[in-house]
């Protein structure tokens, strides 16, 4: 699954090519991905100018002139690449946001081609997805809040609305493990397994403790929750920054985009030494609600 920073990086990689460009035609090479494309998809988007690219949770939004928005999800193995120039030239493919899963460039998995006419001539944005768990939908901008994938989503971990008072209101009285409470998309939208593990490790908080223990009797956030909130925002900001620098490297060179996996402090490090200064603990892996949790039982209380 791509995490939020990956989707944000894909958005930033695509924006210079897509924003302001005319979407001449959407070429659908099959009737479906994980779900069928909406029946009117190709017709509705053809000839529309792309106003802006945005992101909500792990959804990429392509906002079109006229009020329609393409909602895209990368699934397990989806990626975009950009080809510029006339089709015959076949010049310079680039893949914004290829991360820790190897991205297929096999053309038989190119399922959607957006043919664009931008300021610097024709371009194609190609969606490749070998496993086809990704999907695309079309919605009116005015109805986005009620869209089946978007309604009920909580605050963005990058937005100012995510603060300790908000989390305290959500966590008060909860005996649910903190890990599960943080993964609840109705509370924080787009925060995934990797970054929950990282934020808890940075905060010295056990994933197993009850979420309600971070809230005082009057419903106010304890100091630990204030610190956790800051670290959630920081861990996402750091990952987006790392994605941005890998994107820059990629555009300058040609190889596939390296993920910043080496910078994970606790995720996927079972049996390795804890990196908290002064801690001599060992990273453990447990399974909570079917998902792997990595944490240090020594310093995360």
- Shortest gap between Cβ of 259 and Zn ion (angstroms)? 24
Handedness of CA 289, 295, 298, 301 (dihedral sign): negative
Residue 167 or 299 having the CB closest to Zn ion: 299
Active-site option among 56, 58, 81, 202: 58
Q: Which stretch binds Zn ion (CB under 5 A): 231-239, 253-261, 265-273, 292-300?
A: 292-300
Selected from 71, 181, 247, 299, the binder of Zn ion by CB under 5 A is 299
Which residue from 155, 192, 264 is spatially nearest to 3, judged by alpha carbons? 192
- How far is it, in rounded angstroms, from Cα 43 to Cα 24? 10
At 121, list the tokens: 């001539």
Residue 247 or 266 having the CB closest to Zn ion: 266
Residue 218, number of CB atoms within 10 A of its CB: 7
- Shortest gap between Cβ of 278 and Zn ion (angstroms)? 9
Q: Is residue 255 helix, strand or coil? A: coil
| 208 is known as an active-site residue | no
Binding residues for DNA: 109, 131, 174
Residue 279 interacting with Zn ion (CB under 5 A): yes
Selected from 59, 274, 293, 294, the binder of Zn ion by CB under 5 A is 274
| 179 is known as an active-site residue | no
Residue 296 interacting with Zn ion (CB under 5 A): yes
- Shortest gap between Cβ of 136 and Zn ion (angstroms)? 42
- Shortest gap between Cβ of 275 and Zn ion (angstroms)? 8
- How far is it, in rounded angstroms, from Cα 59 to Cα 30? 21
Strand extents, DSSP E, 68-211 = 68-73, 79-84, 91-94, 110-118, 121-128, 135-140
Q: Which stretch binds Zn ion (CB under 5 A): 134-142, 143-151, 170-178, 278-286?
A: 278-286
- Burial degree of 198 (CB within 10 A; 0-12, 13-18, 19+): buried
Selected from 176, 276, 282, 292, the binder of Zn ion by CB under 5 A is 276
| 58 is known as an active-site residue | yes
Strand partners, 109: none
| 217 is known as an active-site residue | no
CA geometry: angle at 35 spanning 34 and 37, to 5°?
A: 125
Residue 45 or 299 having the CB closest to Zn ion: 299
Cβ atoms of residues 250 and 92 within 8 Å: no
# residues contacting Zn ion (CB under 5 A): 7
- Shortest gap between Cβ of 282 and Zn ion (angstroms)? 8
Q: Which stretch binds Zn ion (CB under 5 A): 177-185, 242-250, 261-269, 275-283?
A: 275-283
- How far is it, in rounded angstroms, from Cα 79 to Cα 13? 11
Selected from 281, 284, 291, 292, the binder of Zn ion by CB under 5 A is 281
Residue 298 interacting with Zn ion (CB under 5 A): yes
Burial profile 105-127: b = 16 or more Cβ within 10 angstroms, e = fewer: beeebbbbbbbbebeeebbbbbb
Site residues for Zn ion per CB under 5 A? 274, 276, 279, 281, 296, 298-299
The catalytic site residues sit at: 2-3, 58, 291
């Amino acid at each position: 699954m791509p995490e939020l920073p990956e989707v944000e990086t894909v958005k930033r990689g695509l924006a210079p090519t897509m924003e302001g460009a005319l979407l001449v035609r959407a070429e659908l090479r099959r009737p479906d991905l994980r779900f069928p494309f909406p029946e009117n998809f190709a017709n509705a988007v053809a000839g529309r100018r792309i106003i802006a690219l945005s992101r909500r949770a792990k959804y990429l939004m392509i906002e079109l002139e006229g009020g329609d928005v393409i909602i895209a999800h990368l699934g397990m193995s989806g990626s975009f690449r950009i080809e510029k120039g006339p089709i015959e030239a076949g010049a310079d493919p680039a893949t914004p946001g290829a991360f820790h899963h190897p991205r297929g460039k096999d053309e038989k998995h190119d399922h959607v081609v957006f043919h664009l006419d931008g300021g610097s001539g024709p371009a194609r944005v190609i969606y490749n997805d070998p496993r086809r768990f990704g999907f695309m939908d079309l919605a009116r901008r005015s109805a986005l809040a009620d869209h089946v994938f978007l309604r009920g989503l909580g605050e963005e971990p990058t937005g100012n609305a995510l603060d300790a008072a908000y989390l305290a209101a959500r966590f008060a009285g909860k005996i649910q493990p903190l890990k599960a409470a943080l993964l609840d998309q109705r509370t924080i939208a787009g925060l995934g397994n990797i970054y929950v593990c990282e934020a808890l490790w940075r905060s010295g908080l056990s994933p197993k403790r009850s979420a309600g223990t971070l809230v005082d009797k009057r419903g106010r956030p304890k100091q630990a929750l204030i610190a956790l909130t800051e670290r959630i925002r920081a861990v996402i900001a750091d990952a987006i920054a790392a994605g941005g620098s890998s994107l820059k490297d990629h555009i300058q060179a040609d190889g596939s985009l390296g993920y910043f996996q080496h910078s994970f402090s606790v995720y996927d490090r079972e049996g390795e030494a804890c990196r908290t200064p002064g801690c001599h603990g060992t990273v453990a892996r447990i399974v909570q609600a079917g998902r792997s949790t990595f944490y240090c039982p020594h310093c995360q209380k």
